């Protein structure tokens, strides 16, 4: 029997997270205070993050040890399996070898708990009793709810009101894990009340929900805030994915010629890619690293590499990143986790320096790839990761054309069990591609002050 | 780090299914022709099942080899992990050691593909082009849809109309796997048309859907019918669960004092239990084996052990089993997979002979156990398996009272990702216990002709 899955014993859960920053052949540009345009120090984050998280955000250590208690919680689902997609290869009739790392086996169904658990852990260690956060479709909120429950913290989630109504399963999952979930905008915060005063029927937005969650944490001594992507410490925690994958590829007796991940804020992409980028930077390997984004939110492929705000309201420090402008509102595609105007500063710098390639796909071809994948491999993928699947299938078809036995690895960052209404629309022929016109993108990008 | 998961390499997928029947210390009573009350031979099943399935239904071989192609498909998710529920043990402050075998890692999220795949395989081998089946909540239908897609068969699912409307995610999952799904009753079969003529707004029932699926298979040469529980060959295929669990318990260095499973038609229960019952019968071990059912459908605990029909319409051969009467309509509990008036003939005989204990729980305490489990272990369980969890937690608390270090193993047969509306009702305090009164049960049981 040909091998399909490459498993690691839980003793092989990595003992450290890998920090790419000190290995980069260039300096990352620091976050700036928007008023003074001076670099902000770590202390700027003290009202919202615990000390250890702030330390990890700026650390120059190449490896950060994973606390034993975090590894024990990771063991509920880690190491995650690596699959050889033999049935997909056959379907595509390709000489390429396709591998995927499957993060959907976590309790909340995605890679997000990899950072939710350590964030909850460090907060608890520093005496925090409650974490606040925002969530859109609910992947992040349900992961933080799980992590808080596991570590005995309270959890307050501000869920974008339109999603609160449309995605009840994710909301109920958070409540099952004991979290308090509010439809944002609420009347519990000044930010929420201001919005409601202007528009009592506001459907909410991720930007508003962030403002509410941050305000809740800043104004209440028992609480801190937690973010699920973009920042350095989040990507750091996600590197367990790539470290395990490196070991599993060795078990498979292969090394990837290409590593592929979808990119929203950059956390699942960084998680799989950084350990492989390390091998490139050390001169050991020469693997193509490809980030895939939606054509409707083409941050890396059409955005500008400038300083911009991380949130819509413009309240965060400014970060140097690819951005479509912090007021850009991406089309309502189903891959909600990829609808972010900016990108992780590290991932942005890697693209800018040519160490990572970026490509973009429209909505329909990604769902077509997602359905083909589900029919071949069984797992129904989340809409976000269908972007990585589409790129992988294209690469495998190119390998067939070229007659090359390429080895391709992608990160299957989550299952699509809560996304079947999107699949239904696709199967009924009702999905549309939602790219913005070049003019719209140009207008958005031209408006960026940075 | 204390070990949480016990994994097996896919080479350890069992090479045979284990058949308990020849090891039983008593004879199973044969199915009867309802008209003649004479035993029916295997040929009675020929219009609906392929030859190899019929052979397995009546085989006296103790082991049936698993075809290599089936094992290769199993490898997409098998061997499934065995967990030590350390966090649940801590919550219960019990000296008991709790283990669970997790079947929710399959593509459709339950143990059902363990039999769907070989059924599709043998049908394909014998030239069948299409399989028909019924489904209620959709666990079985989505598993057969997956199996058919994987083996290149067409799949037609008659889904109870009320579920078709209320559980759209399961329906869309089947369609994503390429199945054709009809809301039953349909106007495609005589059985369906008869019902619609009487009641154009009929909400459908599992009994009606079975009639439609069987008629479709009988009347069309390209098609056969497939059943997801109750029958001997189905339980045979599920024994991969218990065989793997035996090996994994050995890895854990323990042997269960008690094995627990929830019982609807008996397939996940038989799957985990039969290999352990074998050890009991061989005199090697003395493990308590407990089947858990809903108090609202107390087949094993309050039914009669007599000949009855397998379906509501009374068209199948009669089987000797515990039954509440084939016209009994269980209350509308959320554990839809446990709402069956009868039970597997093998499991029924084991209970009758005292080799298996049965107990029943009302709906609310099982959901309470399910939420406690989700908060401790992360995995949100399907409503069906919360019955096994409730029994396990009770046993662990008894062990605490008695100060005994019992080892308990239960089968976590599926996740609850499509059952969050039930969790929502429970969390809102809106679930009610739906036991039938003793009088209702007595009346139902008294009406059984057998």
pLDDT band of residue A326 (cuts 50, 70, 90) is confident
User: Residue A376 corresponds to which tokens in the numbers above?
Assistant: 């071949």
Place of tokens 């000797």: B320
| pLDDT at position B447 over 80 | no
Closest in B68, B175, B417 to A427, CB measured = B175
Q: What is the mean pLDDT of residues A212-236?
A: 96
Region for residue B119 given its phi and psi (left: phi exceeds 0; alpha: psi -120 to 50; beta: otherwise): alpha
Neighbours of B364 (CB within 10 A): 15
Distance CA A235, CA A334 (A): 23
Q: Which residue of B has its CA nearest to A4?
A: B75
User: Positive or negative CA dihedral for B130, B134, B135, B139?
Assistant: negative
pLDDT in the model for residue B334: 86
Give the tens place of pLDDT for each residue, A409-450: 999 999 999 999 999 999 999 788 888 888 888 888 887 775
Specify whether the CB–CB gap between B20 and B277 falls below 8 A. Answer: yes
Beta strand segments in B35-146, E: 63-65, 82-84, 97-102, 130-135
- pLDDT of res. B450: 58
Assess whether pLDDT exceeds 90 at residue B379.
yes
Average pLDDT score over residue span A105-118? 98
Mean pLDDT value of segment B13-30: 97
Nearest Cβ partner for B374 among A177, A380, A418:
A177
Cα separation, B12 vs B15, whole angstroms: 8
Q: How many helices (DSSP H) and strands (DSSP E) are in chain B?
A: 18, 15
Q: What is the mean pLDDT of the segment spanning A223-228?
A: 97
CA-to-CA distance for A266 and A232, rounded, in angstroms? 10
Q: Of A315-329, B8-22, B185-199, B338-352, which range is least confident? A: A315-329
- Closest Cβ opposite residue B377 in set A76, A176, A421: A76
Q: For tokens 């120059």, what's the residue? A: A60
B420 interfaces chain A, CB cutoff of 8 Å? yes
Nearest to residue A138, comparing CAs of A433, A417, A427, A425? Answer: A417
Nearest CA in chain A to B371: A176
- For strands B5-6 and B82-84, give the pairing: antiparallel
Model confidence, pTM = 0.96
Give chain B's length. Answer: 450
Task: Give the number of residues written for chain A.
Answer: 450
pLDDT in tens, A120-155: 999 999 999 999 999 988 999 999 999 999 999 999
- Put simply, whether A87 touches B (Cβ < 8 Å) is yes
Q: Residue B114 above 70 pLDDT?
A: yes
Give the nearest partner residue to B173 out of A10, A377, A380, using CB atoms.
A380
Any idea what DSSP says for residue B425?
H
Look at residue B298 in the predicted model and tell me its pLDDT: 95
Per domain, the residue ranges of chain B are 68-109+233-445
- Inform me whether the pLDDT recorded for A204 exceeds 70: yes
- Kindly tell me if the per-residue pLDDT of A312 is higher than 80: no
First to last CA, chain A: 57
CA distance A106 to A114: 9
Name the phi and psi angles at B424, rounded to 5.
-60, -45
CA A208 to chain centre: 20
Distance separating alpha carbons of residues A226 and A207, to the nearest angstrom: 14
Assess contact for B314 and B271: CB atoms under 8 A: no
pLDDT of A165 strictly over 90: no
Q: Which ranges constitute the DSSP H helices of B220-319? A: 232-238, 240-251, 267-281, 299-302
Alpha carbons A117 and A53: distance in angstroms, whole number:
12
Mean pLDDT computed over B359-384: 97
**Above 80 in pLDDT, residue A287?**
yes
User: What sign has the CA pseudo-torsion A417, A421, A424, A430?
Assistant: negative
| 3 state DSSP class of A181 | strand
Instruction: Looking at the complex, report in whole angstroms how far the Cα of residue B67 sits from the nearest Cα belonging to chain A.
Output: 11
Q: Does B3 lie at the interface with A, CB-CB under 8 angstroms?
A: yes
Query: Is the minimum CB–CB distance between A104 and chain B shorter than 8 Å?
Result: no
Q: How far is B415 from chain A (nearest CA, A)?
A: 10
Query: A1 and B10 in contact by Cβ < 8 A?
Result: yes
Please check whether residue B10 touches A, CB under 8 A.
Answer: yes
Q: What is the pLDDT of residues A384-417, one digit of tens each?
A: 999 999 999 999 999 999 999 999 999 999 999 9
- pLDDT value at B433 more than 90: no
Provide the token pair at B263.
């019982």
CATH code given to domain A68-109+233-445:
3.40.50.1100
User: Which residue in B379, B97, B11 sits closest to A6, CA to CA?
Assistant: B11
Collect all residues of chain B within an 8 Å Cβ-Cβ radius of residue A141: none
What is the helix (H) or strand (E) element at residue A306, kind and residue range?
A: strand A304-309
Cβ distance of A176 and B423 shorter than 8 Å: yes
Residue of A nearest to B380 (CA): A107
Per residue in A358-379, pLDDT (tens digit) is: 999 999 999 999 999 999 999 9
pLDDT of residue A439: 86
Name residues 358-377 of chain B within 8 A of A (Cβ): 371, 374-375, 377
Contacts of A379 in chain B (CB under 8 A): 107
- The residue-averaged pLDDT of B173-196 equals 96
In angstroms, what CA-CA distances link A25 with A278, A316, A350?
A: 11, 27, 10
Provide the shortest C-alpha distance from residue A6 to chain B (in Å). Answer: 8
Q: Does the pLDDT of residue B449 top 80, yes or no?
A: no
Q: Does A406 touch chain B (CB under 8 A)?
A: no
What is the DSSP secondary-structure string of A55-105? HHHH---SEEEPPHHHHHHHTTTPSPPEEE-HHHHHHHT-S-EEEEEEGGG
Cα–Cα distance for residue pair B85/B87, rounded to 1 Å: 6
CB < 8 Å from B in window 249-278 of A: none
Query: Mutate which of B76, B139, B412 to disrupt the A interface (most A C-beta within 10 Å)?
Result: B76
State mean pLDDT over B328-355.
91
% residues pLDDT > 90 (chain B) = 84
> Looking at residue A315, what is its pLDDT?
79
- The H or E element spanning position B122 is helix B113-125
Residue of A nearest to B374 (CA): A177
* Chain A nearest C-alpha distance from B23 (Å): 30
Q: Over the range A27-36, which residues count as b (16 or more CB within 10 Å of their CB) and which as e? A: ebeebbebee
What order do you get walking across the sheet with A223-225 strand by strand?
Answer: A180-184, A154-160, A130-135, A223-225
Q: What is the pLDDT of residue A310?
A: 87
Task: Assess A417–B contact: CB distance below 8 Å, yes or no.
Answer: yes
Cis bond before residue A220 (omega within 30° of 0): no
Mean pLDDT of B39-50: 91
Interface residue of A142, A176, A179, A252 to substitute, partner B, most B CBs within 10 Å: A176
Contacts for B344 with CB less than 8 Å, ≥ 6 apart: B229, B230, B231, B232, B235, B265, B266, B267, B270, B321
Q: CB burial class (10 A; 0-12, 13-18, 19+) of residue B90?
A: exposed
Radius of gyration for chain B, computed over Cα atoms and rounded to the nearest angstrom: 21
Q: Cα separations (Å) of B309 from A68, A157, A355, B53, B343?
A: 56, 51, 67, 20, 11
């Amino acid at each position: 029997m040909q091998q399909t899955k490459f498993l690691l014993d839980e003793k092989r859960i990595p003992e450290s997270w890998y920090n790419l920053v000190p290995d980069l052949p260039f300096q990352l540009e620091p976050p700036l205070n928007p008023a003074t345009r001076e670099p902000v120090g770590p202390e700027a984050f003290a009202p919202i993050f615990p000390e250890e998280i702030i330390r990890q955000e700026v650390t120059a250590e190449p490896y950060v040890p994973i606390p034993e208690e975090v590894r024990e919680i990771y063991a509920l689902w880690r190491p995650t399996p690596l699959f050889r997609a033999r049935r997909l290869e056959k379907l595509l009739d390709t000489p390429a070898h396709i591998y995927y790392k499957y993060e959907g086996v976590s309790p909340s169904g995605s890679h997000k708990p990899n950072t939710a658990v350590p964030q909850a852990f460090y907060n608890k260690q520093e005496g925090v009793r409650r974490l606040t956060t925002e969530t859109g479709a609910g992947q992040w909120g349900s992961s933080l709810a799980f992590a808080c429950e596991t570590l005995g913290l309270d959890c307050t989630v501000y869920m974008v009101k339109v999603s609160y109504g449309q995605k009840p399963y994710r909301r109920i999952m958070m409540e099952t894990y004991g979290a308090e979930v509010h439809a944002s905008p609420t009347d519990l915060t000044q930010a929420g009340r201001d919005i409601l005063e202007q528009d009592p029927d506001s459907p909410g937005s991720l930007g508003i929900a962030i403002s509410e969650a941050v305000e809740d944490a800043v104004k209440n001594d028992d609480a801190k805030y937690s973010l699920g992507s973009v920042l350095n410490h989040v990507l750091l925690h996600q590197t367990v994915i790539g470290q395990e994958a490196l070991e599993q590829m060795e078990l498979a007796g292969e090394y990837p010629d290409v590593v592929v991940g979808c990119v929203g804020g950059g956390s699942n992409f960084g998680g799989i890619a950084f350990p492989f980028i390390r091998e490139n930077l050390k001169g050991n390997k020469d693997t193509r690293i490809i980030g895939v984004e939606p054509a409707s939110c083409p941050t890396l492929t059409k955005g500008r590499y400038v300083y911009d705000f991380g949130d819509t309201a413009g309240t965060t420090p400014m970060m140097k990143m690819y951005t479509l402008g912090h007021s850009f509102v991406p089309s309502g595609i189903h891959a909600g986790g990829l609808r972010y105007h900016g990108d992780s500063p590290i991932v942005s710098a890697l693209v800018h320096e040519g160490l990572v390639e970026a490509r973009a796909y429209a909505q329909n071809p990604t769902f077509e790839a997602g359905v083909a994948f589900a029919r071949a491999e069984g797992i129904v993928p989340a809409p976000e990761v269908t972007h990585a699947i589409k790129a992988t299938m294209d690469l495998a078809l190119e390998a067939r054309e070229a007659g090359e036995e390429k080895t391709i690895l992608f990160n299957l960052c989550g299952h699509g069990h809560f996304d079947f209404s999107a699949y239904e629309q696709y199967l009924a022929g009702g999905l549309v591609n939602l790219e913005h016109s070049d003019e719209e993108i140009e207008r958005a990008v031209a408006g960026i002050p940075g």
